[in-house]
Amino acid sequence: MTTWEPVRRVRAFEAVLDRIESRIAAGTLKAGDRLPGERQLAEALGVSRASVREALRVLEARGVLVSQTGSGPDAGAILAADPDTALSDVLRLHVGLDSLSLDEVIGARLMIERWSAAEAARAAGPEALSRMRAALTAMDDDGLTPAEFVEHDTAFHVAVTEAAGNRLIAHMMRALRASVRHYAVRAVTDLGPWPAAAQGLRADHEAIYRAIAEGDPEAAATAAESHLRRVYPTTPPPPPS
Amino acid sequence: MTTWEPVRRVRAFEAVLDRIESRIAAGTLKAGDRLPGERQLAEALGVSRASVREALRVLEARGVLVSQTGSGPDAGAILAADPDTALSDVLRLHVGLDSLSLDEVIGARLMIERWSAAEAARAAGPEALSRMRAALTAMDDDGLTPAEFVEHDTAFHVAVTEAAGNRLIAHMMRALRASVRHYAVRAVTDLGPWPAAAQGLRADHEAIYRAIAEGDPEAAATAAESHLRRVYPTTPPPPPS
DNA sequence: TCCATGTCTGTGGTCAGACCACAGTACGGT
DNA sequence: ACCGTACTGTGGTCTGACCACAGACATGGA
């Protein structure tokens, strides 16, 4: 007797997912396109509307879909392209589950920020530099709360990463910052009395900016690293040299 | 008259998501725990079972939940900790949507593989080295198809990244490889006649392994980079020096 | 006593149908 | 020409039902 091939149980929403993802992979569906209505899709695929909706929720969680109520051209399910929130949600949850430690997130940031600063020093144009400068200027206000300061700090570092010219790495950077934003504010307040403690951070940023503007990759990477180590003195596990 | 703050429309499944994620963040729920049944959860939260299910689908997409039918201790919704498939699904879809280019994925791999090789050279112990060696040995078989070869190739590179000691970066690495696995096989077959073309790859891997085993971070990083550039000669945009 | 068999029970998976809130659009009256 | 209202199609939600599955348990025969 031959062995029986067990039937592969595929849930209905997974089948729906397959059909939609196939069209995305094939290029039939691209960002900005509208999906058919839920009722229409359900009938076309031979499943219930509930199963279609579960598939849409998954696509939404992956950052490739947004749904809007109402009528008109903007209503319905529209293909999007926003990996940031999807990635940061995944990371944030797994940090909460201790599947990832804060140290590891900081370690990943260390890798990305070193790389970004070095690449930015090679590639940054005047437009990218002015965006960094804008974030630096916003951080000069002594009236900022730590939380507000961190927002501008993130804007600066994201601008650096974007200047490096790799959108995927920029997405990772934004996701990493967003997933540990809560801890970042805490780390900053732990630095010492506020707003005096901000001075050291401003000097760090200025050093990074200068190295990038002067096109010195090595100095930029070193400045980025020492900045991160100042904010998270205890955490990063592997000494760099 | 004051401006009216518009009521923030929160969909029912998002409210469910909030409650569950709060417990994860607070540590009340940890990996391995079981969620109440869908019916029970629906009644406790005052929403329909369909809304609960949509929330569970999202958590499943984020890699923090698995659902199983049947009864007994293993049935039901169980908290998991698998970021890999979640991350790679996100990346794969966005590559398909042209939100990310293949070049950018390769660029990110370049960054991670350089870093991993260098860190592995500092940190790899005998157990990690033997796992790399096992993958190398598996690649020595001339009867392998390109697809099989790539599987072992991935195992080697993942072993290197894991030896570097940062699980988050290892997750990223696995996700990146998985999301472009299809292209990797193609790139390998484009190298030239098979299995002759495998020889060059074996030599590359051997060089990486040797540098790691000898504890030479610089050589390891350089070897990893030149290996990736051999497989993807046209793609990487920013010249490294 | 032991083991095979069938039944019970609680789990997720699926479906059909109904109603609501919302936002454009078309039509009608002014 | 203008404005307001009804219409229509969208996602959002709920109810209640049924199915498939797998462990736990009772039952019965060897």
DSSP string spanning A120-140? HHHH--HHHHHHHHHHHHHTT
* Residues of chain B with C-beta less than 8 angstroms from the C-beta of A101: 167
Per-residue pLDDT of A176-203, as tens digits, reads: 999 989 999 999 999 889 888 899 999 9
Mean pLDDT, rounded, of chain A? 92
Q: Is residue A182 part of a domain?
A: yes
Cβ distance A201 to A153 under 8 Å?
Answer: yes
Q: Are residues A47 and A123 in the same domain?
A: no
A95 shares a domain with A25? no
**Given pLDDT bands bounded at 50, 70 and 90, which one contains residue A2?**
low
The answer to whether the CB atoms of A123 and B238 lie below 8 A apart is yes
Residue A70 (CA) to nucleotide D6 (C1'), in angstroms, measures 16
Residues with CB under 7 A from strand D: A 7, 9, 35, 37-40, 49-50, 53, 56, 67-71, 75-77; B 11-13, 46-51, 54, 69-75
Q: Among B24, B86, B169, select the one facing A96 at the smallest CB separation.
A: B24
The last residue of a domain, from among B79, B105, B131: B79
* Nearest partner of A24 among B72, B44, B195, B90, judged by Cα: B90
Q: Give the end of a domain, one of A54, A79, A104.
A: A79
The CATH number given to whatever domain includes residue A61 is 1.10.10.10
Give a yes or no: residue B181 inside a domain.
yes
Higher pLDDT, B241 or A137: A137
In a domain, A241, yes or no: no
| Distance (Å, whole) CA A53 – CA A33 | 18
Cβ distance A81 to B87 less than 8 Å, yes or no, reads no
A72 and A98 part of one domain: no
**End-to-end C-alpha distance for chain A, whole angstroms:** 63
A7 is a domain residue: no
Separation in Å: C26 C1' and B209 CA:
72
Residue A37 lies in a domain: yes
Judge: B57–A60 Cβ closer than 8 Å, yes or no: no
- DSSP per-residue string spanning A126-187: HHHHHHHHHHHHHTT-TT--HHHHHHHHHHHHHHHHHHTT-HHHHHHHHHHHHHTHHHHHHH
Say which nucleotide is closest to residue A69, CA to C1' distance. D11
* Residues in chain A within 8 Å Cβ distance of B50: 50, 53
Number of domains in chain B: 2
| Bridge partner residues of A66 (DSSP) | A78
In this predicted structure, the answer to whether residue A208 has a pLDDT above a threshold of 60 is yes
Residues B66, B173: one domain?
no
Cβ atoms A83, A59 nearer than 8 A:
no
Instruction: Residue B16: list chain A partners with CB under 8 A.
Output: none
Query: Which of A81, A94, A101 shows the shortest C-beta gap to B64?
Result: A94
Structural domain includes residue B237 = no
Domain holding B72, by residue range, is: 12-79
- In this structure, the answer to whether residues B138 and B224 fall within a common structural domain is yes
Query: Residue A159 belongs to a domain with what CATH number?
Result: 1.20.120.530
Q: Give the single-character DSSP code of A237.
A: -
CA at A78, C1' at D1: how many angstroms apart? 36
- What is the rounded CA–CA span in Å between residue A181 and residue A202? 19
Residues A140 and A206 in one domain: yes
Q: How confident is the model at residue A72 (pLDDT cuts 50, 70, 90)?
A: confident
Task: Examine residue A52 and state whether it is found in any structural domain, yes or no.
Answer: yes
The answer to whether A166 contacts B107, with C-beta atoms less than 8 Å apart, is yes
Q: How far is the CA of B21 from the C1' of C11 (A)?
A: 23
> How much is the pLDDT for B236?
55
Q: Which of A20, A54, A79 is the last residue of a domain?
A: A79
User: How far, in Å, is the CA of A1 from the C1' of nucleotide C1?
Assistant: 35
Are B25 and A172 within 8 A, CB to CB? no
Residue B237: predicted pLDDT: 53
Two tokens, residue A163: 């200047």
A contact test, residue of B93, B109, B174, B216 with most A CBs within 10 A: B93
B98 and B207 housed in the same domain: yes
In a shared domain, residues A66 and A183: no
How do residues A82-125 score in pLDDT, each as one tens digit? 999 999 999 999 999 999 999 999 999 999 999 999 999 999 89
Q: Over its length of 241 residues, how does chain B's per-residue pLDDT go in tens digits?
A: 455 666 668 999 999 999 999 999 999 999 999 999 999 999 999 999 999 999 999 999 999 999 999 988 888 999 999 999 999 999 999 999 999 999 999 999 999 999 999 999 999 899 999 999 999 999 999 999 999 999 999 999 999 999 999 999 999 999 999 998 999 999 999 988 988 889 999 999 999 999 999 999 999 999 999 999 999 987 655 544 4
Same domain for A98 and A195, yes or no, is yes
Given a cut of 60, whether residue A48 has pLDDT beyond it is yes
Question: Using a CB cutoff of 8 Å and minimum separation of 24, what contacts does B232-240 make?
Answer: B232/B106, B232/B187, B235/B102, B235/B103, B235/B106, B235/B107, B236/B103, B236/B106, B236/B107, B236/B110, B237/A165, B237/B103, B237/B107, B238/A119, B238/A122, B238/A123, B238/A164, B238/A165, B238/A166, B238/B107
Same domain, B172 and B212: yes
My answer on whether A62 and A91 are in the same domain is no
Residues A110 and A37 in one domain: no
Are residues B56 and B77 in contact, defined by beta-carbon separation less than 8 angstroms?
Answer: yes
Cα R_g (chain B), whole angstroms: 23
* Within-domain flag for B236: no
Residue in A62, A91, A182 to test binding to B, most B beta-carbons within 10 Å: A62
Angle at Cα A171 formed by Cα B105 and Cα A188, nearest 5°?
Answer: 135
Interatomic CA distance for residues A215 and A229, integer angstroms: 23
